[in-house]
Structure 1
Amino acid sequence: MDEMTRLRELRADAPVSDHSSLAAGRQRLTEAAASGRRVRRLRADWRIAALGAAAAITVAAVLGTQLVDAAAPDRSGPASTAGTLRLDSPAAVLNRAADALEKRPAPTEPRDDQWIYTKTVMAQPGGSAGGHISYNPDNWVPYDNSAAAKNGKDDDYRTSRQVFRAANELPDDPVLLLAKVRSFYPTGHTAESPPEGKAQHSFRAMGLMVEAYPIAPAALARIYRALATVPGVHVTDHLVKDAAGREVIAITRREDGRHEQREILIDPHDFRYAGTRFVVTEDYENRLPAGRTQVRPEKFKAGQILLSEARVEAAVVDAKGEKP
């Protein structure tokens, strides 16, 4: 069973939640994220297979009516640190980004006793301030979060230290790099997390690697050059809005056999990870299997945003609770 069907079955009888009813769920998500549990998979890979994460499913489900901003920005491309960047091909965009990243100095690896602080925003229709709410706004995870890596049940979870070091060791050759990243983030092997095609696996795994913090600029440059070679990858020819309302570059790939595309969002100025979106690619109607209660089929329109999340802050700090 695919994850969209699971998601809709679980919410078929539920009314759209308001802010007060979602508060407890957001709190549980915050607590889960702080301990490195499976909530990470909601951000990195929207295949929400953990039925116990009911709050995560509810928050994701209510995003179904969020629409792409109708006001398209200037299609000549964003101003960036590398000059005017035309959004006409993923290779042009990602190689240009890689060129800029390679000029930046290598960072010092964080100490094992340091923490990674992140602040995340998730889009939710019907909220205040243009339909955006704070989702898990402040989160601290140990740089060396070995206990969570050993005890967690999420196959995609890697500590910041594991990713930082693995990224630095990635080869220059795109074919070899993609194989390494797929091995680092293996595909599923169960009904709840089924195996993926090679290209889809590459794109998902590369999205997880791009999202990692911290990551050396030279390593990110190699990742971008390889990402441009994944079959089916495209770039949206104009800037899009992330969950925080920022204009960003969208590197996209349609999910195999689905009506949606996964988007890796990149800041057009410093080329760092900005967020993730899942967007409907064509009009379609979802009907639940026989025996499930549903008043009417759920309809989706091309351009409708199913999930949108933005990382607005990330930093290495010395203690939990400390902010940059």
Structure 2
Amino acid sequence: MAELIDEVARVRELRAEAPAPDRASLAPGRARLLHAAATDRRRHRVRVRPRFVIVGVAAAVTAVAVAASLLVGRDDTRGMTTPATLTDGDLKGMSAAELLERAAEAVEGRPPVAEPRAKQWIYQKWAEEAPDEEAVEHLGDRARFSESWIRYDGSAHAFEQRDPFGKLLKLHVREMQLENGAEGDDRSPREMYRCIATLPADGRGALRALREKDAIADEKGATRAQNDYSEISVLLGADIKSPEGVAGLYRAFATLPGLTVVGHLVDTAAGRRAVAVRYSDNDDGDRDTWREWLFDPETFETLGVRRVRDGKVTGGSSAVTLALVDKPGERR
């Protein structure tokens, strides 16, 4: 039993830092890239230009959701209108361009909010879209969820170690120096947030800005559209997004070929209903596997991303909770 506990603890530790196995989402960290390569047989290594500031830090791409309270502020909702929730009927026949324009219009009308403080922590809890069956057998539903904390300035990361029965064993806090390329490929949530804030509101302008900044070195043999997708998906996976730039990001996403809207709402592993935007122009050699980006059908916040093959979800993760807190171990 002790050996099992140790093994599970190591698995949980790895999961706390592992992103969904997608080319762009793997860019944030070499260590996480190596872990994903071992588990997902990835063949591509993504290089990131250290001079650029948007390469993401995050414990899972897809954990990625920006809670509405963070985008619009917890208290100040004056002047806002609540968009209608999309239904299955709305999605039938809707193009990706139509959906993402609707999403852009919904987010760009929101009032600006104060940027998080450097010493605040981002708490994330997410659900695995395709949990390991052996882990589920040993741990039950807990194997589907992971949690972590990262300081907004990128100076520390934290995660909890628990036994197979859920009892807290230790809160691990590790110092990091993610800003200004101090630790290679990674960047802090603060750098990500500020970069998104600079994006123009129109899609073509935002796309040009991303190409000029060259977040991820172009992959040899990949198409221009695939390299654009790598740039955009890194930002879609940011922990906290500046509302000033999200509209342009969505519109830039809409310019890409190979995007379709799944004609009905889907259920995420976190138990939430979501709109799925499918990207079919993959760059990993597996043309039978799609990436589906998940959006809230009312707020249009990014909820996560998942891999789908033959109608079956094979990987990814989706948001359960995202909040700003004052210290690691604290939840909202």
TM-score interval w.r.t. the shorter chain?
0.5 to 0.7
Q: How much has 1:47 moved relative to structure 2?
A: 7.7
Structure 1 residue aligned with 2:272: 246
Is residue 124 from structure 1 mapped to residue 131 from structure 2 by the alignment? yes
List aligned pairs for 1:188-207, cutoff 5 A.
Answer: 196-207=222-233
Contact 1:171 1:177 in 2 (8 A): yes
Residue 133 (structure 1) aligned to one of 143, 148, 151: 143
CA–CA distance in structure 2, aligned partners of residues 203 and 53 of structure 1: 18
Are the structure 2 counterparts of residues 96 and 279 from structure 1 closer, same or farther at C-alpha, using a change threshold of 3 Å?
A: same
Aligned partner of 1:315 among 296, 310, 323: 323
CA distance in 2, matches of 1:112, 1:304: 41
Please give the per-residue CA displacement for 1:33-85, whole angstroms capped at 9, x wherever unaligned.
3xxxxx45747625899588665456658xxxxxxxxxxxxxxxxxx833545
Q: Deviations over 1:84-111 (max 9, x none)?
A: 4522111111111222212222121011
- SS at the partner of 1:308? strand
Shift of 1:217: 2.9
Q: 1:177, CA displacement in angstroms?
A: 0.8
Which residue is equivalent to 1:112?
118
Q: Distance in 2 between matches of 1:47 and 1:264?
A: 17
Instruction: Describe the SS at the equivalent of 1:205.
Output: helix
Can you give the 5+ residue segments of structure 1 that lack an aligned partner in the other structure? Answer: 1-17, 34-38, 62-79, 281-301
Q: Which has the higher mean CA deviation after the structures are superposed, 118-127 or 21-30?
A: 21-30
TM-fit CA distance, 1:266: 0.7
- Tell me which amino acid in the other structure corresponds to 2:83: T
Count of aligned pairs: 254
- Specify the code of the residue in structure 2 equivalent to 1:272: E
Report the residue type matching 2:317 in the other structure: E
> Which of the residues 18, 24, 31 maps onto 2:10?
24
Amino acid aligned to 2:84: A
Distance 1:90 1:20, change over 3 A: farther
Task: Kindly indicate whether structure 1 or structure 2 has the higher relative contact order, using CA contacts under 8 Å at least 6 residues apart.
Answer: 2
Q: 2:255 aligns with which of 192, 217, 229?
A: 229
Whichever residue aligns with residue 81 of structure 1, its letter is P
- 5 Å-filtered alignment, 1:1-324, equals 21-30=7-16, 33=17, 39-40=18-19, 42=21, 45=25, 56=36, 81-84=83-86, 86-87=90-91, 88-122=94-128, 123-124=130-131, 126=133, 127=136, 133-135=143-145, 137-145=146-154, 147-149=177-179, 150-154=181-185, 157-182=186-211, 183-187=213-217, 196-254=222-280, 255-256=282-283, 257-259=285-287, 260-280=289-309, 302-324=310-332
Render the CA deviation track for 1:118-177: whole Å, top value 9, x for unaligned: 112113153369977334x221111111612434343xx331111111111111232231
Alpha-carbon offset, residue 308 of structure 1: 2.3
Q: Tell whether the 8 Å contact from 1:177 to 1:226 is kept in structure 2 after alignment.
A: yes
Deviation, 1:188, is 5.1
- Matched position secondary structure for 1:269: coil
Q: CA deviation at 1:195?
A: 5.7
Q: What amino acid is aligned across from residue 196 of structure 1 in structure 2?
A: A
Cα drift, residue 180 of structure 1: 2.4
CA apart distance, 1:262: 1.6
Is the Cα contact below 8 Å between 1:132 and 1:244 reproduced in 2?
Answer: no
**Conserved? CA contact 1:240–1:247, under 8 Å:** yes
Structure 2 length-normalised TM: 0.66
Query: What letter corresponds to residue 306 of structure 1 in structure 2?
Result: T
Mapped partners of 2:27, 2:195: distance in 1: 24
